[in-house]
Homo-oligomer: A and B are copies of this chain.
């Protein structure tokens, strides 16, 4: 039996992970959970899965949780330290890192430094700190198995191949809800329209990132660090059906691909059971019902945030940190109806212009660059609203 911790258990990935754990019982047991601000749902999760340690983002939520959910011997922590405590909890074998945004970085690193197997859904960790995290993985003999469907596909296709045989990794992108629109048509799209993703049910931030294709950009940067690839080894293909989750081109002309139903439970389960596999609770993929799998080149000029992310592959790590930070704020402003859809990339691009290109040597450097970029983005947003 394996002991699990879940960081971000009330989010979209966290909830799917708990569904997977239900079907994998009794092979997996949840021993620690950390969540944000959804105290009610968290309470139900804790009552069902009976962890030994839980953590909430805020102290007052932790207090509220204790009131709602009085389980004897349950340890309740809070704040950044609470999440980190969950991540390095001693009896835990595998940590599912599924807190969205840069908030997920410190707990992810804590899990790595505790030598855990980390099932990674928080892409920002790799985007802003890929080098530091991989260094910590080597030092602490940790292991990272990606949960993102694209990276899980790449992992499954390439992990058993020799690195020198990998020519190119091609991430597929559904193209999001606006793939067939012109730049002009996209300009005035509302948050409701952007949240109406054709294929995937996901959290709000990642769904907006999918509409701008920034999500694919962040995934490219994540893939660079996860798999140790050069910028020219990375590409994107639009594949509206989201059945082929990514492709790996080998030097001999063979292309390996992983396909499945569009359901995050599949990569989550793979990350948990790896290197084994277990039966799925989903019906098998029937390609004769899908009938046609389509592939298109991305019209990059329509997705300037993707262009910035591609540029980031060649830039210093600080560029990715600032890109991610400015994008988080701009998306938040868009979701709050403070800026237009087409303003997201304008704000991000402007925030990057004054980026000073410093070197990243530590977590502190990352947070400094992150804060400075947020500051710039916040100023730009204030000017616009």
Residues of A within 8 A of B (CB): 156-157, 160-162, 165, 167-168, 170, 237, 244, 247, 249-261, 263, 266, 269-270, 273, 276-280, 282, 284-285, 287-288, 290-297
Contact = CB atoms under 8 A, between A and B. Distances in A.
Contact of A256 (B257, B279, B280, B295): B257
28 contacts: A156-B256, A161-B277, A165-B276, A170-B287, A244-B257, A247-B259, A247-B287, A249-B284, A251-B277, A252-B266, A252-B273, A252-B277, A253-B260, A253-B266, A253-B269, A253-B282, A254-B258, A254-B277, A255-B258, A255-B260, A255-B285, A287-B295, A291-B295, A292-B292, A292-B293, A292-B294, A293-B293, A293-B295
Contact of A253 (B250, B254, B280): B280
Nearest to A274: B252
Contacts of A279: 251-252
A73 to B, nearest CB: 35
Main secondary structure of the interface of A (DSSP, over half): mixed
Contacts of A257: 244, 256-259
Given A292-B294, A295-B288, A295-B291, A278 B253 contact: no
Nearest to A153: B254
Copies of chain A in the complex: 2
B259 A258 contact: no
A253 B261 contact: yes
Given A252-B270, A253-B266, A295 B284 contact: no
Nearest to A285: B255
A137 to B, nearest CB: 22
Given A162-B276, A250-B277, 8 more contacts: A247-B259, A247-B287, A249-B285, A254-B258, A254-B270, A255-B258, A291-B296, A293-B293
Contacts of A282: 253
Given A256-B258, A295-B290, A297-B288, A251 B280 contact: yes
